Amino acid sequence: MTRTPSSHNWFAASRLAQALNSTAGRIVRITAGAALILGGLLAVGGLPGLILAAIGLVPLLAGSFDVCVFSALFGGPFRGAGVRACAR
């Protein structure tokens, strides 16, 4: 399947993707991931808490390593630098 540039970068060029991949957006993702992990392990507990903690790893690691899972799911660039380049 051949994709045109506009069809696979539509999410990466969006305001949401640009906000998520800014420095502030990465800090928010890291903080939210840490909160999900701590909440799952300390407040929820048991198997549901472990599941919540595992889910929290996704935004924590994505923010830490500057990747955008949502952009990749929609066929756009995986690296945050590639997402930011789509705004130019």
Q: How many C-beta atoms surround the C-beta of residue 60 within 10 A?
A: 20
Give CA angle at 54 (49, 56), nearest 5°.
Answer: 95
d(CA 1, CA 86): 21
pLDDT tens-digit map of 2-19: 444 456 688 888 888 899
In a domain, 1, yes or no: no
In a domain, 22, yes or no: yes
pLDDT of 38 > 90? The answer is yes
| Domain assignment of residue 79, given as a range | 8-85
pLDDT of 74 > 50? The answer is yes
How many alpha carbons fall within 13 Å on the CB side of residue 5?
A: 6
Domain count for the chain: 1
